[in-house]
């Protein structure tokens, strides 16, 4: 493939104008948006608006600001709902992935009789597993016996058949990632949910690596709950407030971990000591919303509403397909192999390259102006984000990687990860 070919793809790109919405830098190829998305000008503006509301209104900013804080979590939930195929009242902007997992496990995990086990996978992000183990221990259950983790044959992907085969009447709850963080494998959420419900298993998904990258239909698929972060594909900023989904079938129940903002908004300031939970997903909030870490989403989600998640997904698939094609064309002789599935319906938003010198290659890429992501011990993740990465950017990244390997530039660097990877 030649440069003229990828330039033609950029000319046909329906989303090309959105790159100007983001703070990109000349000569820098940002391929790590699946760890931290870039700042958009709209996200910056809505953050500044909330700062100005604080400046101008003080405490009255909760109700009288340009972006009233008291209703911000619900507003962001409503903006998020179309991205995951949910109803507005099923979604709330709150907490972080891990705190939301704790909240929803405290609400939905009710071990009884022989139905005491939690089904997860052996490739999930550590934080999810920490939460699952600690919740089991709170019930005086040994994780070694009660946490069932589906193993992987290749160390990078999991077969849905293995997940379904592990389902039985001992399983109380299932928590899986929608997209595996290391390999980018997209699981069949609908199929897994349907099979689990046939065994009366509560179903939850962690959407960290899929929300904002591809469409979902959580309500239609009958998923019981889901959690996510917003600082990856949704571009909310470092430590941006996360979100959760609870299917309307479960709304109205008392949250497992009740708190100040679990309350019905009409009753909250009655200051009663008996909680009246909100009849929406807002019931699963705990503390006061983190306004300055939420406000950027008001602007960021406007972009998703305009661009459309289907168009974002289509371009994402084109970008990752181009990346894989160029890797096959230019890098097959340098001991790289792809860990991600190649089929569109099984691939998330990033490409995972496995190489024994992955850590040193990532350091060399950064020196050449490419920002990748390294995952111990040998994975290079490259995420060409549809809203701010062009097809020509992908072309340039592969040529830079080829130049590194041809000239052995990675050998200048230690093949050990830094403190943060």
Tokens of 372: 């990748």
Q: For residue 105, what pLDDT is reported?
A: 98
What's 185's DSSP letter? B
pLDDT on residue 421? 72
Tell whether 221 and 312 lie within a shared domain: no
Q: How many CB atoms lie within 10 A of CB 348?
A: 28
pTM of the model: 0.96
In a domain, 289, yes or no: yes
Residue pair 167/148 in contact (Cβ under 8 Å)? The answer is no
Q: Taking a C-beta distance cutoff of 8 angstroms, is the pair 208, 233 a contact?
A: no
**Residue 418: inside a domain:** no
Residue 40 lies in a domain: no
Count of C-beta atoms within a 10 Å radius of residue 21: 22
Is residue 327 located within the same domain as residue 300? no
Ordered alpha helix ranges (H), 179-245: 189-198, 218-221
Let me know: does 145 contact 173? Beta carbons within 8 Å.
no
Same domain for 358 and 299: no
Distance CA 85, CA 395 (A): 33
| End position of a domain, from candidates 275, 306, 337 | 306
3-class SS of residue 68 = coil
CATH number at residue 24: 3.90.1150.10
Same domain, 123 and 246: yes
Q: How confident is the model at residue 53, as a pLDDT?
A: 98
265/315 same-domain check = no
Residue 420 within a domain: no
Beta strands in 20-156 (DSSP E): 29-30, 91-93, 117-121, 147-150
Query: Does some domain include residue 178?
Result: yes
Residue spans of alpha helices (H) in 139-199: 143-146, 160-165, 189-198
pLDDT tens, N- to C-terminus, the chain (421 residues): 899 999 999 999 999 999 999 999 999 999 999 999 999 999 999 999 999 999 999 999 999 999 999 999 999 999 999 999 999 999 999 999 999 999 999 999 999 999 999 999 999 999 999 999 999 999 999 999 999 999 999 999 999 999 999 999 999 999 999 999 999 999 999 999 999 999 999 999 999 999 999 999 999 999 999 999 999 999 999 999 999 999 999 999 999 999 989 999 898 888 899 999 999 999 999 999 999 999 999 999 999 999 999 999 999 999 999 999 999 999 999 999 999 999 999 999 999 999 999 999 999 999 999 999 999 999 999 999 999 999 999 999 999 999 999 999 999 999 988 877 7
- Do residues 318 and 299 both lie within one domain? no
Domains in the chain, number? 2
Q: Strands of 234-369 (E only): list them.
A: 243-246, 337-338, 351-354
Give the pLDDT score at 196.
98
Q: Which two tokens stand for residue 130?
A: 């920490």
Kindly state whether residues 348 and 283 are assigned to the same domain. no
pLDDT of res. 197: 98
Please tell me the predicted confidence (pLDDT) of residue 270.
87
What domain range includes position 122? Answer: 45-306
User: Do residues 128 and 214 both lie within one domain?
Assistant: yes
Binding residue ranges: 97-98, 125-128, 206, 209, 231, 260, 288
Q: What is the CATH number of the domain that holds 299?
A: 3.40.640.10
Q: What is the pLDDT of residue 419?
A: 73
Annotated binding site for pyridoxal 5'-phosphate: 97-98, 125-128, 206, 209, 231, 260, 288
Give the 3-state secondary structure of residue 386. coil
Q: Which residue among 258, 287, 306 closes a domain?
A: 306
Report yes or no: 347 and 340 within 8 Å, Cβ to Cβ: yes
Chain centroid, CA 331 distance in Å: 29
Q: Which residue bears the tokens 């992501």?
A: 373
**Six-digit token string for 123:** 């490739």
Decide: 38 and 388 in contact? Cβ < 8 Å: yes
């Amino acid at each position: 493939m030649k440069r003229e070919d990828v330039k033609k793809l950029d000319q046909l790109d329906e989303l090309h104008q959105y790159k100007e919405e983001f703070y990109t830098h000349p000569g820098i190829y940002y391929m790590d948006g699946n760890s931290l998305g870039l700042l958009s000008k709209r996200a910056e503006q809505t953050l500044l608006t909330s700062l100005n509301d604080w400046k101008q209104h003080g405490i009255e900013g909760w109700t009288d600001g340009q972006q009233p804080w008291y209703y911000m979590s619900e507003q962001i939930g409503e903006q998020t709902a179309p991205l995951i195929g949910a109803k507005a009242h099923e979604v709330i902007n709150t907490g972080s992935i891990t705190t939301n997992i704790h909240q929803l496990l405290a609400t939905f995990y009710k071990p009884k009789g022989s139905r005491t086990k939690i089904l997860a996978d052996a490739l999930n992000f550590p934080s999810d597993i920490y939460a699952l183990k600690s919740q089991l221990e709170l019930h005086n259950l040994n994780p070694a016996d009660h946490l069932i983790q589906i193993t992987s044959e290749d160390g990078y992907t999991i077969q849905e058949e293995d997940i379904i085969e592990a389902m039985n009447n001992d399983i109380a709850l299932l928590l899986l990632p929608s997209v595996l963080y290391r390999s980018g494998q997209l699981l069949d959420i609908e199929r897994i949910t349907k099979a689990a419900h046939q065994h009366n298993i509560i179903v939850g998904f962690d959407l960290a690596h899929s929300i904002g990258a591809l469409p979902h239909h959580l309500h239609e698929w009958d998923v019981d709950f889901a959690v996510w972060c917003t600082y990856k594909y949704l571009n909310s900023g470092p430590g941006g407030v996360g979100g959760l989904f609870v299917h309307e079938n479960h709304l109205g129940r008392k949250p497992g971990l009740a708190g100040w903002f679990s309350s019905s908004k009409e009753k909250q300031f009655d200051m009663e000591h008996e909680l009246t939970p909100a009849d929406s997903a807002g019931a699963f909030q705990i503390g006061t919303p983190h306004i300055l870490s939420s406000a950027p989403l008001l602007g960021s989600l406007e972009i998703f509403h305009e661009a459309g998640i289907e168009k974002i997904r289509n371009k994402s698939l084109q970008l990752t397909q181009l990346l894989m094609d160029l890797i096959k064309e230019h890098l097959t002789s340098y001991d790289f192999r792809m860990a991600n599935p190649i089929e569109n319906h099984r691939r998330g938003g990033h490409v995972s390259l496995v190489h024994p010198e992955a850590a040193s290659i990532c350091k060399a890429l950064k020196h050449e102006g490419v920002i990748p992501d390294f995952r111990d011990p040998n994975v290079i993740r490259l995420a060409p984000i549809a809203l701010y990465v062009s097809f020509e950017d992908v072309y340039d990244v592969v040529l830079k990687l080829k130049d590194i390997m041809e000239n052995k530039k990675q050998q200048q660097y230690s093949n050990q990860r830094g403190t943060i990877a």
